[in-house]
Amino acid sequence: MSEDIREQLSALMDGELGRDERAFLLRRLEHDAELRSLWSSMHLMRDVITHRPGGAPLNLADRVMQSLAEEDRQIAPLSKSTSRSWRPWLGAALAASVAMVAVFAVAPDASFDSSAGYTEVTPAPRAALPLGVPGPIAPSLSNLGVGVQPVAGERSTIISGVPTPITAEQMLLMRHGQMVDGAWWVGGTQPVYARPDQRLLLPVSATGSDRP
């Protein structure tokens, strides 16, 4: 430890170092135990000279830092085990996500009737299905004759936490979805608006190329 550094430390405790010098020295102190020891000694000296209450030399700093390190060591495994306890749920969520992707991939565009202009579709009420019983993802989907079989026991409820059947319309919107002025844009010239009453105006074609 050079004399210059020690002199800087002396100036630091008097508040006589510039901002940059101070920052440099504080960084240096992080790695220099001897310099920290000198810091302690100089403050003990100051306390004695100024008749401040003092005592025998202490190693309280070491005890405090050891105690903090010990606390950290105790907390670290705890946080690890906490994260482990979430793993099954994360796995379930991941499985549900995979199921969702599979559903989207299976839903064919041809399932929509292109013979009629706009079809007004009202999503079926959210019926409470018993857990673990395979059922249709959404009544509207089954009505459209889509042969999608959800994975047993893994309805969409797993993802959201509440029963949220996914309609064929929603699938389509999500697959091709683009929002234009607050509405899902599915192609063609007319966006499809989701109204507050959950009634959707469904285009007759997934491509929308033949809409008026």
Partner 1 sequence: MGLNLRWSAPTTRGTPPAPRPAATVTGVVVEEAAIDAALVERVQAGDRLAFDLLVRKYQHRIVALIQRFVPDWHEAQDVAQEAFIKAFRALPNFRGDSAFYTWLYKISVNTAKNFLVSQSRRPPMDDVLMDDAANHADGRMHESATPENEFLREEVERTVLSAVADLPEEIRTALTLREIDGLSYEEIAQIMNCPIGTVRSRIFRGRDAVDRRIRPLVEG
Q: Interacting stretch for partner 1, rule CB under 8 A, among 12-20, 96-104, 117-125, 130-138?
A: 12-20
Of 45 and 76, nearer to partner 1 (C-beta) is 45
Site string for partner 1, 47-86 (x = CB under 8 A): xxxxxxxxxxxx-xx-xxx-xx--x---------------
C-alpha torsion sign, points 56, 62, 66, 68: positive
**Interface with partner 1 includes 22 (CB under 8 A)?**
yes
Q: Name which position in 1, 21, 45, 101 contacts partner 1 (CB under 8 A).
A: 45
Nearer to partner 1 by C-beta: 56 or 133? 56
Which lies closer to partner 1 via its Cβ, residue 51 or residue 195?
Answer: 51
Q: Return the number of the residue (31 or 195) whose C-beta is nearest partner 1.
A: 31
Count residues contacting partner 1 (CB under 8 A)? 45
E strand or H helix at 180: strand 178-180
Q: Burial of 124 by CB count in 10 Å (0-12 exposed, 13-18 middle, 19+ buried)?
A: middle
- Please list the residues that pair with 192 across neighbouring strands: 184
Going 36 to 37 to 40 to 43, the CA torsion angle's sign is: negative
Shorter beta-carbon distance to partner 1: residue 13 or 201: 13
Q: Which of 38, 100, 137, 202 binds partner 1 (CB under 8 A)?
A: 38
Phi first, then psi, for residue 172 (nearest 5°) are -60, -45
The owner of tokens 């008097």 is 14
For residue 163, the Cα-to-chain-centroid distance in whole angstroms is 22
Helices (H), 86-189: 87-106, 139-143, 157-160, 168-176
Tokens in use for 146? 């889509």
28 vs 176 by CB, closer to partner 1:
28
Instruction: Find, among 123, 116, 124, 117, the residue nearest to 199 by Cα.
Output: 123
Taking CB under 8 A as the rule, does residue 87 contact partner 1?
A: no
Smallest distance from the beta carbon of 78 to partner 1, in angstroms? 16
* Inter-CA distances, 139 with 149, 153, 169, Å: 12, 17, 12
Q: Which stretch binds partner 1 (CB under 8 A): 23-31, 114-122, 132-140, 156-164?
A: 23-31
Residues that bind partner 1 (CB under 8 A): 3, 6-7, 10-16, 22, 26, 29-30, 36-58, 60-61, 63-65, 67-68, 71
